[in-house]
Amino acid sequence: MKTYRLSAAGRRNVLVLIVAALLIWVFAFWSFASTLRISYNPVRFWLSLQESLAQGLSVGQVVPALLMLVLIVATPLLIWALLAEWAAAYTPTPDGLRFETLGVRVVCPWHCIRSVHPVDTDAEEPFDELLLNTDPGTQIGHPVTRFLHRQAWGVDRLPIYPDLEERDELLAAIRGALETASRAERAPARA
């Protein structure tokens, strides 16, 4: 059984995106404090927040602060999704497709995969996802990891990342296994 992982170029791309996301997060964290005129010092935090609220906040402070708060919350979710892409491994087995990454280890049986769906046909790099009949998240034991996986991809999808080594070979193996599973389901019905 062959395992498919990101190529070296794919890992470099993901690393650049992680660094960019970290820079955005640091900027948002810094901008949030400076916009609201608060201190992150644990001793002064609540006092500085109360002082800032007592002085009143203008629209010019509230709108950027809310935007920065969204970035502060969303950027770690993005970083987790990028790290999950970095560590992704796909292994076609006779029972189904095994997908492993950052605490996620799921097996999608062939009969539970509806199709391979291209996400954006106009993109420079092809990006596909598997449409599933079941939620693979139920196989993830840790609730936080399950939440992060579902947050990144939903309950009935599994990504096939664009920068996988020998990606076309993996997609051909998946499509071949789906065709074989489909024929096997139809064969008993004819008998």
Q: pTM here? A: 0.83
Between CA 117 and CA 1 the distance in angstroms is 24
- pLDDT for 185 equals 75
- pLDDT for 175 equals 92
Q: Please state whether beta strands 128-132 and 113-118 pair in parallel, antiparallel, or not at all (unpaired).
A: antiparallel
- pLDDT for 93 equals 94
154: left (phi over 0), alpha (psi -120 to 50) or beta: left
Mean pLDDT by 10 residues, the chain (191 residues): 94 96 95 86 83 83 91 95 95 94 91 88 80 90 91 90 92 91 70 49
